[in-house]
Amino acid sequence: MREFITRSLSGIVYAGVIIGATAFHPYALLALLAIILTAGIVELKHLTVGERAKTLFLTLNLLGILLLWVHLQFLQDYQNHLVAFLVIVIMSVLIHWVFIKRTTINTEELVYVILGIVYILLPLALAFNIAFIKGHWQPQTLLAIFFFLWANDSFAYITGKWLGKHKLFQQLSPKKTIEGFVGGLIGALVIAHVIAYFWSNLTVTEWVILSVLTAVFGTIGDLFESALKRAADVKDSGNLIPGHGGILDRLDSFLFAIPIAYFYLYFFA
């Protein structure tokens, strides 16, 4: 009972912080994304190379926060320069290796640093673009993506618990079922229609497509993080959120859903 209360209270606080920071102001969102980046990088380091590349991941984290800040200052043209900014981050990491570590390059460490850039930093940068998708501050679409993911998780859990019989991907996540996956998809679709009634920045069809893409790729993100934890032989990526684990445990779906959502919104919606 105590664990349930702890999990519920921390979940409410977590959701409140996400919604408040996203809806309030661009700089509040910047602070939120910087915290997510820092916690995510720390957890990824522990899941992969441990303390062996501590200063390297610290460099990545500081460069990532700088990248997010630059993103906010030059947002109007940011999508045109995103690749250049990411290349600068990667080159800075390599410069760190040459002048700070002064050792031969460890391929394993390099792979996981690049993973941190692609898996954590890039989606967080694209989240900013979604909040400014029409050139001005419009956080409803980014908020909607969170709502789709939460609905998908909740409906998948309830449906899987009551009706789940057929395993979705037993090797990585034994508790996930095909019935739960379908239930989660239905939950996201329901929320898409509710959002379409209140927010008109996208059409009903566009909200529906976005909800489906978010739910599907969010589930894949959950499975990917499960693979990371299995490789590290741990239950949770961290203990930042009481009763829920680490930041990657809560945002694994978000990190996978954001790039595909951005691609759809920017090129099709």
- Paired with 177 in beta bridges are 167
- Mean pLDDT computed over 251-256: 94
| pLDDT score, position 192 | 97
For 29, residues 6+ apart whose C-beta sits below 8 A from its C-beta are: 21, 22, 127, 128, 131, 139, 142
Mean pLDDT (whole number) for 119-137: 87
pLDDT digits (tens, 9 = 90+) for 46-73: 998 887 778 888 888 888 888 888 877 7
pLDDT over 90 for what percent of the chain? 43
Q: Structural domain boundaries of the chain?
A: 2-267
Phi, psi of 170 (to 5 degrees): -60, -30
* pLDDT at residue 188 in the model: 96
More confident residue, 121 or 49: 121
pLDDT digit string, tens, across residues 168-213? 777 777 788 888 899 999 999 999 999 999 998 899 999 999 999 9
- Residue 219, pLDDT above cutoff 70: yes
- Asked whether the beta carbons of 248 and 40 are under 8 A apart, the reply is yes
Maximum CA pair distance of the chain? 58
Distances from the Cα of 202 to the Cαs of 67, 134, 211, in angstroms? 29, 11, 12
Regarding predicted confidence, which is higher, 39 or 162?
39
Q: How many Å apart are CA 92 and CA 90, to the nearest integer?
A: 5
* Predicted TM-score (pTM) of this structure: 0.91
Looking at residue 75, the DSSP 8-state letter turns out to be G
Lowest mean pLDDT among 79-88, 119-128, 141-150: 79-88
The mean predicted confidence, pLDDT, of the chain is 86
Percent helix, strand, coil in the chain, to 5, is: 80, 5, 15
At 61-116, the pLDDT tens digits run 888 888 888 877 776 665 556 677 777 777 877 777 777 665 666 778 888 888 99
